[in-house]
Structure 1
């Protein structure tokens, strides 16, 4: 990397002109026309009575794929526009238009799925076994089975239409709330106003006074916005609960588990193994408090470095480190990541007006991806960059597969991203130049375990209990904050001195209309990737091929089937999860051993 890397992404090669792009406007108009024609075809189709009739549905399948790919392209583009500039009003308008199209495609798919559920089992088996349809067998079976558990297609279509200005409208309103957050920050004797994304970076400032001061301002800002956030969260949950009730679903986890293609037994086993491991995590938290000269860790101390002299990392240094470490596992992963940097697929510039957080989005028509984040030079930012590149590589591996087979669930998507983080973190620890550097890097690596075992668990506990309470009626912001703090205390085993009551308001994930329970899939991905990493260490370089093959199958299998085929393990049993947790605890054990003498000082 001889010249400085571009820190703003290239969207012009997708559609030139940003939110006012004539090319994109024409693309949307063409897609709307295509979907209108598709609806006419689907509505006019009849449930086939024999194999020949079933084969007539194949052209609908082809058209559905085409529309899905193009809509993905449109959704990703407007998502990027809105994220890079929260004041782009035109992008917000386009987002509403694309959301309407998504709802329309869902409605069309619902009607098509209803055709599928009406096909006689004998005809179904024959049709899905034909050479043209067999590649879609998993997806079609999944759609047919789920259709049989929903309302009739007319009611499902109505719900989707009402969701545009109801359910999704509330989700989009949350973006408006976040865009208005402005938090004062003192720097070099001057006061400047930070966006939510910029302010959040300061919560990880190595200087405790700065992050504590920012946390007070952060909580104050979200308290002021709390009533708006409470209304939004209440109505999102209310919509889901009412929809579930009309489908006859009494378990709020039914949909998120189905979306993630995993069983409740697997989820419960994973959390049980984690719960048993928490006492050692608490030992780490207590030791860290001593090293920081504190009686106990506050919320903002949990992710703070144990040394305040940690230097900033430039974007170019981060990129070079990531590519180098990826290359030690897989040349394909390294080459892909280098390409992403060179082709400006990453938006990393630290500037006002950007949306907080990070994401990776796929352009299925263009066979490209884009990564969004705000790079402030922290170790956490480096991890986020590696994380999002893991997502991008996963999508890259899906190239050439049928579009419908590329829709892998969030939990396995998080596997690729957290595996990428782990490669970088573990390699850096092993190549540390001295004990002090090794300790700092090891502590940074342990932060992932704390986040996924404690923080994500708190989110899961909170959301589960919030939905239970929401069945009884609306909750005000004080009641929601009480639930949040209660969940944090339980998840962290009471190890902290302060908590983050308004975390529920500040966290985008609670407001996602596309992913209910945007929490446990992260922990699944972390531990599943850790288990994969254990295998990689055991099997050496040949595992890179197995890893790629597993990722390519993520869109056509349940997680239990995926693990059985590629790892020969049963995820409903403790063994695999225990091996992954043990690896995490080994890091904590090493940290405790390295710091034992320091804690006595």
Structure 2
């Protein structure tokens, strides 16, 4: 019911190249090229973010301050891009007749609005769980107070560096134990050089697996720094990649899956590796440290994402009632 006429859809698609698609590309390139000055180094986003996981609290604080300064310098650009994207969505939603700002996203994920509202309500009603965790985290770290740069602090001073070849072996062994067919497909990503993992100047941060078309294989982008978390990220993205690889047989129109389905494969593969790692650990301190890290990542997946959703709700609502939003207004909503 939200599809327009063929001519209107054609116009929207053509204009998107210089509109919403162009703005998204511009924002990605700006953020990828941004530099953050830390201890005499000029770092990109992927490089500086790893220091937020450092066991050195002073280093975490310096990294957080440097990252904040860098983002502040980009605030005019990011605010303008944000407003352009929000305005585009507002106009498109109005043209298509969507009842709310989130309706199109829920539809693409094949979810009912009521189900999403139930999830949001369930999570926001239990923020006390996160508060309890942070109280425990503070106790384990031995701090009187936690700050934003302490959220991902490890509870052990020793840092575990995992070489790329070792990470590959850890992931492949876990996949092989589960099902050799999964390992066989995952091997193609390594041997075919379908993974871009090395840190590089002007490279975007984060990680994702990009499904292409049935006639081509998926590609994985990540920023590997040698932490155990990076090993889990590798397993996570390979879960997406294997899923996308086998989905190609469904054909172009059916190969893609909604986000809710896609994340099942990736999270499952990530947990395969986590369970394998835990099975090999005997030191109770190391086991505790890894469990704390996994809990932290899980909270980021569940509670942080819902918090982002709450900001998006406030932002889109304000955009549709107030018009273009200033940097200060966006900060207030955040």
Relative to the length of structure 2, the TM-score reads: 0.93
Q: CA deviation at 1:276?
A: 4.7
In structure 1, what is the Cα distance between the partners aligned to 2:217 and 2:9? 33
Correspondence for 1:306 among 149, 155, 160:
155
The residue correspondences of 1:113-262 to structure 2 (distance < 5 A) are 148-186=1-39, 191-262=40-111
Q: CA deviation at 1:272?
A: 3.4
Q: CA deviation at 1:440?
A: 1.4
1:470-493 alpha-carbon deviations (Å, 9 max, x no partner) = 012111112212222xxxxxxxxx
Asked if structure 2 preserves the Cα contact closer than 8 Å seen for 1:314 and 1:377, the reply is yes
1:337 aligns with 2:170: no
In structure 2, what is the Cα distance between the partners aligned to 1:441 and 1:179? 30
* Cross-structure match for 2:172: 323
In structure 2, what is the Cα distance between the partners aligned to 1:183 and 1:447? 25
In structure 2, what is the Cα distance between the partners aligned to 1:341 and 1:179? 25
Q: CA deviation at 1:411?
A: 2.2
The residue correspondences of 1:258-277 to structure 2 (distance < 5 A) are 258-277=107-126
Q: Secondary structure at the match of 1:193?
A: strand
Q: CA deviation at 1:177?
A: 1.8
Q: Secondary structure at the match of 2:81?
A: helix
Asked if structure 1 preserves the Cα contact closer than 8 Å seen for 2:46 and 2:204, the reply is yes
Correspondence for 1:347 among 188, 196, 201:
196
1:480 aligns with 2:330: yes
In structure 2, what is the Cα distance between the partners aligned to 1:458 and 1:279? 14
Q: Secondary structure at the match of 1:405?
A: coil
Asked if structure 1 preserves the Cα contact closer than 8 Å seen for 2:239 and 2:266, the reply is yes
In structure 1, what is the Cα distance between the partners aligned to 2:118 and 2:49? 33
Structure 1 gaps of 5+ residues are 1-147, 485-601
Q: Secondary structure at the match of 1:171?
A: helix
1:304-347 alpha-carbon deviations (Å, 9 max, x no partner) = 21112122111111111111122232222222223322222211
In structure 1, what is the Cα distance between the partners aligned to 2:166 and 2:331? 40
Q: Secondary structure at the match of 1:400?
A: helix
Q: CA deviation at 1:423?
A: 1.5
In structure 1, what is the Cα distance between the partners aligned to 2:96 and 2:186? 44
Asked if structure 1 preserves the Cα contact closer than 8 Å seen for 2:214 and 2:251, the reply is no
Q: CA deviation at 1:217?
A: 0.9
Asked if structure 1 preserves the Cα contact closer than 8 Å seen for 2:124 and 2:306, the reply is no
1:555-599 alpha-carbon deviations (Å, 9 max, x no partner) = xxxxxxxxxxxxxxxxxxxxxxxxxxxxxxxxxxxxxxxxxxxxx
Asked if structure 2 preserves the Cα contact closer than 8 Å seen for 1:212 and 1:300, the reply is yes
In structure 2, what is the Cα distance between the partners aligned to 1:283 and 1:289? 10
Q: Which has the larger radius of gyration?
A: 1
Q: Secondary structure at the match of 1:371?
A: strand
1:370 aligns with 2:223: no
In structure 1, what is the Cα distance between the partners aligned to 2:286 and 2:130? 21
1:392 aligns with 2:241: yes
Q: Secondary structure at the match of 1:404?
A: coil
Asked if structure 2 preserves the Cα contact closer than 8 Å seen for 1:426 and 1:445, the reply is no
Asked if structure 1 preserves the Cα contact closer than 8 Å seen for 2:236 and 2:266, the reply is yes
Q: CA deviation at 1:174?
A: 0.5
Q: Secondary structure at the match of 1:398?
A: helix
* Cross-structure match for 1:417: 266
Relative to the length of structure 1, the TM-score reads: 0.53
C-alpha change, 1:150 and 1:402, in structure 2 (3 Å) is closer
Asked if structure 2 preserves the Cα contact closer than 8 Å seen for 1:327 and 1:333, the reply is yes
Q: CA deviation at 1:152?
A: 3.0
The residue correspondences of 1:96-111 to structure 2 (distance < 5 A) are none
Structure 2 gaps of 5+ residues are none
Asked if structure 1 preserves the Cα contact closer than 8 Å seen for 2:32 and 2:205, the reply is no
Q: Secondary structure at the match of 2:111?
A: coil
Q: Secondary structure at the match of 2:38?
A: strand
In structure 2, what is the Cα distance between the partners aligned to 1:265 and 1:233? 27
1:206-244 alpha-carbon deviations (Å, 9 max, x no partner) = 222112101101111111100100000101010110111
Asked if structure 2 preserves the Cα contact closer than 8 Å seen for 1:227 and 1:476, the reply is no
C-alpha change, 1:348 and 1:176, in structure 2 (3 Å) is closer
Q: CA deviation at 1:365?
A: 4.7
Asked if structure 2 preserves the Cα contact closer than 8 Å seen for 1:388 and 1:417, the reply is yes
Q: Secondary structure at the match of 1:406?
A: coil
Tell me how large the CA RMSD over aligned residues is.
Answer: 1.8
Q: Secondary structure at the match of 2:250?
A: coil
1:451 aligns with 2:300: yes
In structure 2, what is the Cα distance between the partners aligned to 1:221 and 1:228? 12
In structure 2, what is the Cα distance between the partners aligned to 1:159 and 1:405? 23
How many residues are aligned here? 333
